[in-house]
Every structure is written in C-alpha cells, then in structure tokens.
Chain A
Amino acid sequence: MNLFTLSWAYIRNRKLNTFLNTLLLALGVGIVVYLLVITTQLQNKMQANAKDINLVVGAKGSPLQLILCSIFHIDNPTGNIKLSDANKIASNKRFVKKAIPLALGDSYQAFRIVGTNQLYPEHYSCQLANGKWWHNVMEATIGSEVARQSGLKVGDTFHSSHGLDGSEDNRHEEQTYKVVGVMKPSETVMDRLVLTSIESIWAIHEHHEAAAMPVIPIGPSTKHTEEHHDTTSQEDDREITALLLTFSNPMATLMMPRMINSQSNLQAASPAMEIVRLFDLFGVGADVIEYFAYVIILIAGLSIFIALYNALKERQYDLAIMRTLGASQNKLFTHIILEGLLLAAFGGICGLLLGHGAVELTSALLDQTSQVSFKGWQFLTEEYYIFAGVLGVGLIASLLPALQTYRIDISETLAT
C-alpha cells in the first residue's frame, strides 16, 4: 500500500468517469500526435527526396504539379520539353553543377518507370542490392519496394503500361523490359521507381526505330560521353519530361528561374518553395484539426477536475479517516494530485498509442496505392513535450481539489 495504489484504487472505483476522462484525453492527444507524426515524416521524406535539387525544369503548367511529378512521382507530367532546350540549360556550366534528365509517362503495376541516366540514382546515393545498373535499351534497374511488391527479380521481364495508374488496358505489348538490377532500400522515392534509359522510353513510343537508336548523352557529366554526330539532326524532335538541376553557384538561384521562365515553352519550379506552399495549403486544415484537439484536451482536463472535485465531497469522510490513521495534510494533498496525474498519464499513454496506431493504420491503407508511406512506431522528441503538457493538464486539474483537502476539519467531519 502506498499513495500510488491508493490513488489508483479510487480511479479504478470510478470506472465510467475514468473511461470518459481517458477517452477524451486519448482522443485529443491521439489527434495531436497523429498530425505531428504524419507531417514530420512527410516533411522529412519530402526534404530527403528534394535534397540538393535546386530547380526543376519542365513544361509550362502548375509548378506544384511539376514538383509533385518530377521529384515525388505522385502526379502526372505537365507535358514534355524539347531535348535540345534541356541540353542548352544543362550545358550552362557557369550555374549548373548537375543536370538529371527525366522521361516519364509509363509505369509498371503503378510503379513509375523513369527514363534517366546514372546521375539520378547517384544523387540519392543508391546502391545495388544485386545485378547491375541498366546500360542498354530496354534494360531496367528497379527499386527495393518495386521488387518486394511485384516480385520481380534480376532476369525477369515485364511490359510497361501508359500512365501512372497501372491499369492493364494501356499496355505496351510490343516492347519487353528486362530487369538487370535491384537497388538497396534508400528510404527515398527511388525505392518505388523503375529506372531505365531515356532511350527505352523513346523506343516504346517511337518503336519503329528503337533498336537502331543511338545512345544520346544528356547533360555535361553523363556516363555516355561519346559524341554521336549523326544524332544532332534528330535531337530536335526528341523530348524529355523534366530536368532536375543542382546549382554550382548561389547566383544561379536568382538567374536561372528568370532565364528559363522567359522561354515561352519552359517553366522552372523550386522544390523548396513548392514544398512550403504545399504545407501551407493543407497546413490550414491540419491547424484547424490540431486546435480542435487542444480543445478536447482542455475538456479532458475540465472533466478530470470535475470528477475529482465532486468525488471530494463523498470522500471527505475517507480523507478524515486517513488523517486519524496518521496521514499528514501534505500526504492527502499529494494523494489527490497523484490521482490527477495518474489519470492524465493513463490518458496520455493511450493517446500516444492511439496516434501511432492510427499512423500505422494509415500507412497500411496507403501502402498499396501510393508513393507515400509512414512508419507508425517512430517516436519524436516533441512527444515528450506533449506528454509533459498532458501531465501539466492533470496537475492543474487536480490542484484545486487537492488544496481543498487542507480545509477539511477532521473533527467536524467525523462528528457528523
């Protein structure tokens, strides 16, 4: 027997009340934790995916769409840009450190197929789990998630389909991809991509000359650096979807977007700016829900206060008895405070579990259909503060009832 077990006995005795308090607190804390974990993981993931990419060049349209499409691969392209235009930008040695071309449009089982060069996986420090990087036309190196979910292994072949929804209706039956490598998990968007050469994408869409297609170098530092004289004439008709740029010079941040946007058929979008804009957009909704959650927590605190305050009248005799048994006034004070803290802690723990459970559930529901995934059991330091705040609510809620114990006249109480 100690003050903990004593307080716990009273909490246990008020089952319905305790249930209500716990439910309210758990709900409030759960929502706050859920929003916190989701936005933090989303932001971290987005930042990891956008890392060091200063600018995305693509066809005119919504800049947010261009970013969502080219960096996170969760939207459709705004259109295509001419390879010659892209090459012009990529060869701007003064500003451009690295230029990664992307050719999008096809997918396999809802996993996007990206025509690109070796710089792309290198940018995310991807490594091979087995096999090799793609080299020839219609070779593909696949991400770890793609391999896990589709069951593709090195040596397997597959057909791509048009679009991003993975439907079988728009299958490109004429051309067959061959898996030559599987990447190690990198916790980036790479895990969910099928990488191939740009020539493969071209080959599928202009299949009549695919086999004869020469390898075209794009950007200043691709691996295929040999020049092919006979290709210059063809370059004008060739198109890619977007170009990811890293700058070599801070001046570029000012100069490049203006330079690119002045060309009528191109637009430049900054991932950093668009991510901020995106979070501003759905941040408003999240804020409203979060304030709502704080109101619930406040009501939970009020509910704890009312429970303790009301119980105090019934417990006056119990408390007087404890005094006759030798309990000091401070001990009774601590006893009531402890009850508030225990209730708050119990509700808080349930809330943490609820929030993380909801994240895990969200992740399980999203996993099959989306590029986004969450980790439910990853805890953040902010949650300590939330928990401390909840204990604070319990403390404040029990303070007044606890102070009331000092005013109990034992002799009067026992005499009635």
Chain B
Amino acid sequence: MFQLTGIRYNYTTTHTLSFPDWTAAQGDRWLLTGVSGSGKTTLLHMLAGLRQPTQGTAIIAGTNLYTLSGNKADQFRGQNIGLVLQKPHLLSVLTVEENLLLTQYMAGLPQNKQRIAEVLSILSVLEKRKSMPHQLSQGQAQRISIARAVLNLPKLILADEPTSSLDDVNCMRVLDLLETQAAACGATLVIATHDARVKNRIANHLHLESVQTVLGTL
C-alpha cells in the first residue's frame, strides 16, 4: 500500500535522520514506536506529505507522493489520507457537522450530510452534530476527530499519539474505534505512539532507534 525507500531528513546540515525502508500492504495495521526525538512525528508527516524528506521516495496508493505539485499533493492528502492527532483540534468556530462538511469540502468531495450522520452514529456522537467543539468532552472531541479522519474513506489513516492524553477506558475505546473504522473502509492504519498500553494490540511494529546523528557530509 505504501513503500518508503531511502528516506533521509536533514534538520540542520549536521543533524540528519535516516529512516529504515518500510513497506505496508493495504489493510495492514502498523505501530510506529520509538522514544521522543526519534522522528516518529517527522516520519508520519512525511508519509502524509506535510513535510518533504531531503532524500528518498514514498509511493502511496500507487502515487509517487513527492513528485506531486503543491495543489495536487494537498488534494491527494485530502482524499486519501486521514489524520488523527494527539489533540482533536476541531475548528472552534464551526459546529461538529460543519467541521465534517469542511472536511468533505476541503478534499474537493461532494458534501454529504447523510454520510456524516452515518459516521457520527457509528462513533455514537450523533446527538452532538449541532454542538460547538467547546461543548464536547475530551473523549467526544477525540471521537469527532476520528470521524473526521475516516469520513472521506481514506486509503491510509495516520494517528499521531492518539491515546497519550486519555485514561485507560478511553484509550482502549479510541483504539477500538481506529481499528474498526480502518477495517470498515479497508484502510491501512499507522499509529505512532510511545504509549505502552497500545503495544500489545498490534502485531506489526516499526521501531525507530534514538536520534541518529550523522556528522559530516553524506
């Protein structure tokens, strides 16, 4: 489903991260682990096309991500990649439903309230449809952000520390939701985490070594 080869990222001229080659099949579930600073978020962002590596290629769903022009890359991301972040960060000026309509609009897809209601009811937050984000509990907000990630039926769902600020009950619930939703749309799921509670649930691990500093020219 995706294939990363020879990815290197220069933070500064002397501080370079190089990542192992990584291949995943459609529908796979992967855990991306490693201590803080090992480049989990950087790799995840490169996988989402939010950041360009200094070197290397990423083929995602048959598309060579880093050769796409700016607008094309944005559109590709909107339609194929769902992102779940550590904090839900819904747009505070919009209702839950408007947040999800925006998700369809920004991806350049038709706006479909029925699909939104469907996803919200699966995540059992349908009654919050007309609520503003500040009226939601943390767990509800995190579920809406999962709804946002799966709404456009992406091929790849990337979750960056989705459980780190949640208690045990909510942590398991979020993982359940991510797994079932990824399965429901046949998406590949990658969870970047250092949360020990997550590790036993998913078989495929990619462990990033601690900071790999390379001195001199490469």
Q: Which residues of A contact B (CB under 8 A)?
A: 1-2, 5-6, 9-10, 12-13, 317-318, 321-331, 410-411, 414-415
- Among the stretches B106-114, B120-128, B202-210, the one at the interface with A is B106-114
B101 contacts A by Cβ under 8 Å: yes
Contacts of A411 in B (CB 8 A): 42, 45, 50-51
- Contact in complex: B106, A414 (CB < 8 Å): no
Give complex CA distance A208, B20 in Å: 123
Give the distance to chain A from B2, nearest Cβ to Cβ, in Å: 17
Q: What distance in Å separates the Cβ of B156 from its nearest Cβ neighbour in chain A?
A: 13
Q: Are A328 and B74 in contact (CB under 8 A)?
A: yes
Tell me which residues across on chain A come within 8 A of B89, comparing CB atoms. 317-318, 321
Query: In the assembled complex, which residues on chain B have CB atoms less than 8 Å from the CB atom of A1?
Result: 98, 101-102, 104-105, 111
Q: How long is the Cα–Cα vector from A416 to B96 in the complex, in angstroms?
A: 24
Which 7 A-B pairs rank lowest in CB-CB distance, beginning with the nearest? A326-B78, A1-B101, A325-B106, A411-B51, A326-B107, A13-B93, A9-B93
The distance from the CB of A304 to the nearest CB of chain B, in whole angstroms, is: 18
Q: Which residues of B sit under 8 angstroms from A9, Cβ to Cβ?
A: 91, 93-94, 98
Contacts of A321 in B (CB 8 A): 89, 91
Interface contacts (Cβ under 8 Å), in number, total 71
The interface centre, meaning the residue of A13, A322, A328 with most chain B CB atoms within 10 A of its CB, is A328
Report which residue of B75, B78, B101, B107 has the largest number of chain A beta carbons within 10 angstroms of its beta carbon: B78
| Contact, CB under 8 Å: A325 / B107 | yes
Give the number of chain B interface residues (Cβ < 8 Å).
32
A-B contact pairs, 12 of them (CB 8 A): A5-B98, A12-B93, A318-B92, A323-B50, A324-B48, A324-B77, A325-B78, A326-B74, A326-B79, A326-B106, A329-B70, A330-B71
Closest approach, in angstroms, between the C-beta of A10 and any C-beta of chain B? Answer: 5
Name the residue of chain B whose CB is nearest to the CB of A413.
Answer: B50
- Residue positions of B touching A, CB distance < 8 A: 41-42, 45, 48, 50-51, 70-71, 74-75, 77-79, 83, 85, 89, 91-94, 98, 101-108, 111, 148, 160
Whether the pair A414, B93 counts as a contact (CB closer than 8 A) is: no
Question: Could you tell me if B41 and A325 are in contact, using CB atoms closer than 8 angstroms?
Answer: no
Query: In whole angstroms, how far apart are the Cα atoms of A323 and B71 in the complex?
Result: 10
| Contact across chains for B102 and A322 when beta carbons are under 8 A apart | yes
State which of A2, A322, A414 has its C-beta within 8 Å of the C-beta of B45: A414
Known: A2-B105, A9-B94. A327 touches B78 (CB 8 A): yes
- Distance between Cα atoms of A1 and B106 in the complex (Å): 9
Between A13, A414, A415, the greatest number of chain B beta carbons within 10 A of the residue's beta carbon is seen for A414
Contacts known (A10-B93, A414-B45); A326 close to B77, Cβ less than 8 A = yes
Chain B minimum-CB-distance residue to A317: B89
Alpha-carbon distance between A67 and B23 when the two chains are bound, in angstroms: 94
B102 near A6 with CB under 8 A, answer yes
Structural contact, B74 and A323, CB atoms closer than 8 A: yes
Closest Cβ–Cβ distance, residue B87 to chain A (whole Å): 9
Give the residue name and chain of the A residue nearest to B72 (CB): A328
The residues of A that contact B45 with a CB separation of less than 8 Å are 410-411, 414-415
User: Within 8 Å CB of B108, what residues of A?
Assistant: 326
**How many Å lie between the Cα of A414 and that of B104 in the bound state?**
20
How far does the Cβ of B99 sit from chain A's closest Cβ, in whole Å?
9
Q: Using Cβ atoms and an 8 Å threshold, which residues of chain A touch B92? A: 13, 318
A327 B74 Cβ-Cβ under 8 A: yes
B70 to chain A, nearest CB (A): 6
